[in-house]
C-alpha cells in the first residue's frame, strides 16, 4: 500500500521553495504542564536574528547529575516530544527541550537556516544557565541533523560532553532520495531532492570534526521514515570515539520505549561510563552487548 507520506513527499518536492514545506509544525498544546508531576519552567530564547523561540526547562527532583539539550523531531511541537526524555528526570538529569521557529509558541517559519539558528541559540542558552557541569546533546530525526550541524558550528565556542542522535541523517538531499525510493509510485522521482533541496545547512561535511566528543548513533533497522543506511552513514563518517546501536526491528525514534524500556538504562550507562581509550572503542550492538 502506498502511504500518504510518500505521496505527499513526492508532491512537495515538485514545488518551488519546497524546503520550507518539509516541516509540519503544530501550534496547539497536547499536554498541559499543570498536569505533569514535574512541571517545566517556561523559557523564551532569542536567536541571533531576533526570533523568539519557546522552550521548557525540566529540572530533576534531586540534585542533578547532568543536563541534556533535546533537539526534537519534525511535526507537532515540544508538548508532544517532551515525553521522550521525561523519564530521565527520575534518573537525576535536567533537560531543556525547545521548539524551532514556527512550532508551538515559537515565532517565525521553519527552514534549514532558521532551525540551525534556533539550535545555536538553545545551546548557548543552556550552556549559560544549566545547573550541572556536564552537558549532553540529544537529537531525534530532523532534530538530529540540526544538532549535528549546531555542534559542528559551536564546538569551539560552547563546551558539551557527549552527543546522541537517533533515527537521523546528515544530508537533506539523501534523506529525501531515500524516502522517495521506497515506493514504485515515487521511485522515479528520486532525483528531485538533489535539485530542489539544499545541504548548505546540513551536517554532511562536518560530522568527522566532532571528534573527540563521544558520539552515539542509534537507528532502527525497520525505520519507515529515515532509512537505516543513513544512520550507518553518520557512524561511518564520524571519527572515534563513537558507538552505533543497531536496534533490530526498531521503527522511527522508538528505541527508548522498546524491549521493556531497557534502552533507557543503557543510555544512562553510556552517559555515565568514562570514555575508553580510542584503541578500545568499538561498535556495540546493545541487544547483544557485542
What are the tens digits of pLDDT across the range 200-238? 999 999 999 999 999 999 999 999 989 899 999 999 999
Cα–Cα distance list, 283 to 178, 288, 290 (Å): 24, 12, 8
Question: What is the distance between the alpha carbons of residues 4 and 24, in angstroms, rounded to a whole number?
Answer: 14
From 2-16, 89-103, 169-183, the region with the lowest mean pLDDT: 2-16
All structural domains of the chain with their residue ranges: 4-26+40-272
| Predicted structure pTM score | 0.87
CA-closest candidate to residue 138, choices 198, 87, 75, 209: 87
Cα–Cα distance list, 208 to 212, 217, 238, 262 (Å): 9, 13, 4, 29
Length of the chain: 290
Could you tell me which CATH class the domain 4-26+40-272 is placed in? alpha beta
Question: What is the distance between the alpha carbons of residues 100 and 120, in angstroms, rounded to a whole number?
Answer: 11
The per-residue pLDDT for 107 is: 98
**66-91 tens-digit pLDDT:** 999 999 999 899 999 999 999 999 99
Within a 13 Å sphere around the CA of 188, how many CA atoms are in the beta-carbon half?
3
- pLDDT of residue 192 exceeding 80, the answer is no
Is 29 strand, coil or helix? coil
**111-167 tens-digit pLDDT:** 999 999 999 999 999 999 999 999 999 999 999 999 999 999 999 999 999 999 999
CA-closest candidate to residue 203, choices 160, 174, 227: 174
- Can you name the residues that pair with 43 across neighbouring β-strands? 55
Amino acid at each position: 500500500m502506498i502511504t500518504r507520506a510518500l505521496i505527499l513527499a513526492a508532491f512537495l518536492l515538485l514545488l518551488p521553495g519546497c524546503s520550507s514545506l518539509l516541516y509540519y509544525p503544530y501550534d496547539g498544546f497536547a499536554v498541559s504542564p499543570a498536569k505533569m508531576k514535574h512541571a517545566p519552567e517556561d523559557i523564551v530564547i532569542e536567536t541571533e536574528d531576533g526570533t523568539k523561540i519557546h522552550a521548557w526547562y525540566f529540572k530533576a527532583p534531586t540534585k542533578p547529575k547532568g543536563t541534556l539539550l533535546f533537539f526534537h523531531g519534525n511535526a507537532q511541537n515540544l508538548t508532544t516530544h517532551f515525553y521522550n526524555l521525561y523519564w530521565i528526570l527520575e534518573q537525576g538529569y535536567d533537560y531543556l527541550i525547545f521548539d524551532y521557529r514556527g512550532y508551538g509558541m515559537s515565532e517565525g517559519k521553519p527552514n534549514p537556516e532558521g532551525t540551525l539558528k534556533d539550535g545555536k541559540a538553545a545551546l548557548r542558552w543552556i550552556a549559560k544557565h544549566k545547573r550541572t557541569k556536564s552537558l549532553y546533546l540529544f537529537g531525534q530525526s530532523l532534530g538530529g541533523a540540526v544538532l549535528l550541524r549546531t555542534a559542528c558550528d559551536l564546538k569551539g565556542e560552547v563546551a558539551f560532553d557527549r552527543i546522541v542522535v537517533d533515527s537521523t541523517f546528515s544530508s537533506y538531499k539523501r534523506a529525501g532520495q531515500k524516502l522517495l525510493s521506497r515506493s514504485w509510485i515515487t521511485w522515479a522521482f528520486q532525483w528531485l531532492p538533489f535539485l530542489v533541496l539544499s545541504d548548505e545547512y546540513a551536517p554532511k561535511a562536518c560530522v568527522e570534526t566532532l571528534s573527540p566528543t563521544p558520539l552515539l548513533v542509534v537507528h532502527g533497522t525497520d525505520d519507515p521514515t529515515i532509512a537505516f543506511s543513513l544512520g550507518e552513514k553518520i557512524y561511518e563518517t564520524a571519527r572515534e570515539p563513537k558507538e552505533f546501536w543497531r536496534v533490530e526491528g526498531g521503527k522511527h525514534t522508538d528505541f527508548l520505549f522498546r524491549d521493556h524500556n531497557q534502552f533507557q538504562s543503557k543510555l544512562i550507562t553510556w552517559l555515565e561510563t568514562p570514555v575508553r581509550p580510542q584503541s578500545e572503542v568499538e561498535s556495540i550492538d546493545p541487544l547483544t552487548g557485542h
